[in-house]
A and B are shown apart, each in its own frame.
Chain A
Amino acid sequence: MNSQRFFVSLLTCAVLALGSASATVAAAEKKVLRFAFRTAETGFDPARIDDRYSVGVCENIYEGLLTYDYLARPVKLVPLTAEAIPEPEENGTRYTFRIRPGIYFADDPAFKGVKRELVAKDIEYSIKRFRDPKNRSQYEWLFENKLVGLDELTEKAKKSGAFDYEARVEGLEVRGKYTISFKLKEPDYNFLYVLAMPNVVPVAREVIEMYGGDTHAHPVGTGPYVLKEWTRRSKIVLEKNPTYRGHVLETKYADPADEWDQRAIEALKGKTLPAIDRVEIYPIEDEQPRFLAFLNKEHDIMDETPFSFIHQVLPNGKLAPNLAKEGVRVFREQQPELTYDVFNTRDTIGTKENPKDNPVGGYTPEKVALRRAMVLAHDRGREIEIVRKGQAIPAQSPVGPGVVGYDPNFRATAQDYDPSKAKALLDMFGYVDKDGDGWRDLPDGKPLVIQYKYNAGSQETRQLAALWNKSMADVGIRLEAVAVQFADLLKDRKVGNYMFSGTAWIADYPDAQNFLQLLYGPNGGQSNDSFFKLPEYDRLYDKAASLPDSPERNAIYREMNRLVLAYAPWRLGVHRLFNHLQYPWVKGYKKHPILYTNFKYLDLDVAAQQVAMK
């Protein structure tokens, strides 16, 4: 080899070595956040999903017109792809949005190499998809009986078998490239919340048509991340969307006294987000591996510490010393949710052909007294202590905390544990042991047996059923706990073939209405599983629905709460407390009560992460 060739070879090797070294450095500096979902995802077609894990991924890929401020508490709507939050027009029946020009979808073969801008027609198309019967959207109800002309289009589609996406809908008026105006049938001051839901986001028609039956695997949005890899039920990888315009942390609604807000501001000040290059999500259904993976530092965050490990994480309510030594921080969250037990308030259960008397149904004084006595006899303190491992607080109203219209000062003494009062109430209304078998009977002397249906597949529901059994036995009420498959339980509740059953509700949007609609008479068999039908309640609900957030509306909500306590269609359960853990190298963490994920606001100290992992 001559000296020139030798020199060239040497130079080539040096360049290659340098290149490889810098690539190694770059790879080493890549910010990778690792995280577990506690349930497997379904897919990422926003119109066709309703589980919070799939929705949580979509939050990072798609962008709706509106979203919530990351730091503001109580939550605050802010524009996302819209230029501004519109004022209601025409007495709350019209909202007109202008989309910010220059927002582009992530690159995808469906766009054939052309940059694809987000336009008003995408919003129109995406909302129509919710009402296309073919999509079987679980969130169809958001647009049902809402936008002028949309229901009629759906009806036509049901008859013809094809949804006409070209048809003009008065309620979805596209006014130029960037403007869309929604015309509602009735005034609805909560409509803006609907447009902030992570499901209600624009999708590109070309993408949907190209991927047809597999839209779950091809999410293409305008958001900060793209789906890079997906091994169903095993691994979801998001990477920064190269075409994303970037965003900064909004700090004007931050609380100066909130340490999480201040830490986030400090960590993200002046940065263009997202800061995380890659997010790796692992659906791990079982609690032990999820917990151990976090302790092993295989994951950086653990959302919702499993209740079975709560005493190891928070002995006596304080972070365990071994975790504190590692710098782990715990974010304690009260979600806008509620657990409750539903009484079927109809007089009979079963089929039309074979109806059976329902002892807990009806509105006569003795029926109401029975329900109220059962509520008083249930030991909620033991439920919190044993089943919830202390991670819950008793609910005082049928509304979850943190939503607009929630009254933290409202107290439900009618739901406090008081077995003596329960016994007195039962005695007073004739529920006494008439045949001497040790159990109370109905006032007419017939045996009193109350059936409690619960989901057979959950340990928690089994424990709750056992607690109900014991609580009722303590006051002489014979309870028959019946384990049912989940699908059958849903069906039984929808058709009213049950007496009494437990369930939970998490807010879809942060307004009390989302909870109170669960007891609205016309919603019987849809979301009102109790079939509660009280004209006074319905009248108040209708009145509140036509009002914006105001003291007047809050007064109506308080009155509705009182009616619920008086007629006891529900036994109010608890608001669960969730403990989210994260290692100190995760920066900017704050859990949002409505948005499920916060990847796009986080940063990582990679050096600290790597040192800890060694």
Chain B
Amino acid sequence: MTAYVIRRLWQMIPTLAGVILLIFFLFNFVGGDPAQVLAGKISNPEQIANIRKQLGVDEPYYVQLWVFVKQVFSFDFGRSWSTNEEVSRILLTRVGPTLTIMVPVLMIETVLAVVFAIMVAYVRGSLTDRAIMIICTTAMSISFLVYIIVFQWLFGFVLGWFPVQGWSESFWKNLTTYAPLPIMLAIFVGLAPQLRLYRSFFLEEINQDYVRTARAKGVPEKSVMMKHVLRNAMIPILTNIGIYLPGLFVGSFLLEVFFSIPGLGREIITAVNRSDFPVIKAVTVYLAMLTMIINLLVDVMYKFVDPRVSFK
């Protein structure tokens, strides 16, 4: 396994190089001129040139690329062009609120989706199964924005169960007061597609020969579902969670904007609007690294879930 992990880590280098080049190309050719935004209402070409010089965007491309590479490997992207705040500080302070929302969402949503999916897969074809599938399809066809507006109005304003928006310095207060409504919303929206997907994973396993064999041998149905079907369906489920995981750190821009959560999603969109490249570059590069590492971890976990998997 060690050799496999080392090989995978080695393979990450060209991938990361590709990501760096892609980001650099996109920002330099399609990203707009940040100096125009930073110059203010009244500016002249000389001031804009001064800003460009200070930001280093007037340097030749190879110099800018070298600076970018150095930033990636030193984990220091300098300061935000719009607020002058250290990029590392921005990321560190914004990731907490995002994770406060997204970690419970991932955990609760996964558990609920797996439990409900295995239940409906067990009663596949029944009225309950069909009713749940119809509800899921309907729920999936409504925009996230509509859910946010309705939930915020209903649970925050009309019923007054939760604050309409807000965030505090206290983790506990956030988790118990401000986070529940956004968490509930995200779960409500994310549950339907997850449930449908996991149901299909379970159905695929239920139709396999080994399940028929187990049943023919008289293995109780509960054992068939929990020991055989669930275990084998865990590999695609893990893959799906692996895909979902990097998004955990980016959060949901809509949730963060509507509930005034000072998270990373809101920060990224603000950075894009202000052409704040150091922030965008840092987030993109770290996210790419995170995605690669999570993919590796998920691949390693396959082995623990299913011993038949071998590292090649």
- CB within 8 Å of B: which residues of A? 40, 42-43, 48, 50, 133-134, 136-141, 158, 213-217, 229, 231-235, 282-286, 288-289, 292-293, 295-296, 298, 457, 485-488, 490-491, 494, 505, 508, 523, 525-527
Contacts and interface: CB of A to CB of B under 8 A. Distances in A.
A288 B167 contact: no
In the complex, the 5 A-B pairs of residues with the closest C-beta atoms, listed nearest first: A138-B40, A487-B32, A234-B262, A289-B165, A490-B36
Interface string B150-185: 001100110010011111010000000000000000
A292 B258 CA distance: 11
B50 A42 contact: no
B25 to A, nearest CB: 17
Nearest to A158: B50
Interface in B17-40: 32-34, 36-40
A42 B261 CA distance: 17
A284 B33 contact: no
A488 B273 CA distance: 11
A235 B166 CA distance: 9
A133 B47 CA distance: 8
Contact of A292 (B79, B156, B169): B156
Given A133-B50, A298-B166, A50 B40 contact: yes
Contacts of B258: 286, 288-289
B182 to A, nearest CB: 11
B43 interface: yes
Nearest to A134: B54
B37 A487 contact: yes
Contacts of B164: 289, 292-293, 296, 298
Contacts of A133: 50, 54
A136 B54 contact: yes
B41 A233 contact: no
B267 A233 contact: yes
Contact of B153 (A42, A215, A292): A292
Given A288-B153, A293-B165, A296-B164, A525 B44 contact: yes
B44 A526 contact: yes
A158 B38 CA distance: 18
Given A213-B84, A235-B167, A136 B33 contact: no
A81 B285 CA distance: 49
A539 B48 CA distance: 28
Contacts of A232: 83, 85, 90, 93, 262
Interface of B: 32-34, 36-45, 47-48, 50-51, 54, 79, 82-85, 90, 93, 149, 152-153, 156-157, 160, 163-167, 169, 257-262, 266-267, 270, 273, 275
B157 A295 contact: yes
A488 B32 contact: yes
Contacts of B36: 487-488, 490-491, 494
A285 B257 contact: yes
A278 to B, nearest CB: 15
Contacts of A457: 273
Contacts, number: 131
B273 A231 contact: no
B22 to A, nearest CB: 19
Given A231-B167, A289-B259, A527 B85 contact: no
Contact of B84 (A140, A158, A216, A508): A216
A505 B166 CA distance: 32
Contacts of A42: 82-83
Given A232-B85, A292-B156, A213 B79 contact: yes
Contacts of B39: 136, 138
Contacts of B40: 50, 137-139
Nearest to B269: A285
B83 A216 contact: yes
Most chain A CB within a 10 A radius of its CB, from B32, B38, B163:
B32
A529 B54 CA distance: 25
A289 B82 contact: no
Interface hub of A158, A215, A283, A490 (most chain B Cβ within 10 A): A490
B43 A282 contact: no
Q: For chain A, what secondary structure do more than half of its interface residues adopt (helix, strand, loop), or is it mixed?
A: mixed
A245 to B, nearest CB: 31
Contact of B41 (A138, A231, A285): A138
A485 B32 contact: yes
B155 to A, nearest CB: 11
Contacts of B266: 233
Contacts of A141: 42-44
B31 to A, nearest CB: 8
A66 B2 CA distance: 71
A298 B84 contact: no
Contacts of A217: 85
Most B Cβ at <10 Å: residue of A50, A140, A234, A527: A234
A23 B176 CA distance: 27
A133 to B, nearest CB: 5
B79 A487 contact: no
Given A48-B84, A282-B166, A292-B153, A525 B45 contact: yes
B273 A486 contact: yes
A527 B41 contact: yes
A215 B266 CA distance: 23
Contacts of A140: 47
B255 to A, nearest CB: 11
A129 to B, nearest CB: 14
Given A289-B152, A293-B164, 17 more contacts: A40-B270, A138-B38, A138-B39, A141-B42, A217-B85, A232-B83, A288-B149, A289-B258, A293-B165, A296-B157, A296-B163, A298-B164, A485-B32, A486-B32, A487-B37, A494-B48, A525-B45
B83 A231 contact: no
Contacts of A216: 83-85
Contact of B262 (A158, A214, A231, A505): A231
B270 A233 contact: yes
A523 B167 CA distance: 45
Contact of A43 (B83, B169, B260): B83
Q: Taking each of B34, B40, B260, B266, which has the highest tally of chain A beta carbons within 10 Å of its own beta carbon?
A: B260
A42 B276 CA distance: 12
28 contacts: A133-B54, A136-B38, A136-B54, A138-B39, A138-B43, A140-B47, A141-B43, A213-B79, A231-B167, A232-B262, A233-B262, A234-B261, A282-B166, A285-B257, A288-B152, A288-B153, A288-B258, A289-B164, A292-B152, A292-B156, A292-B164, A293-B164, A293-B166, A296-B160, A296-B163, A486-B32, A494-B43, A508-B41
A224 B218 CA distance: 81
Contacts of B152: 288-289, 292
Nearest to B267: A233
A216 B169 CA distance: 20
Q: Chain A CB within 10 Å — which of B32, B42, B149 has the most?
A: B42
A8 to B, nearest CB: 37
A449 B164 CA distance: 48
A346 B199 CA distance: 64
Nearest to A283: B260
Contacts of A137: 40
B152 to A, nearest CB: 6
B165 A488 contact: no
B40 to A, nearest CB: 3
Contact of A284 (B34, B37, B44, B260): B260
A292 B157 CA distance: 7
Contacts of A487: 32-34, 36-37, 275
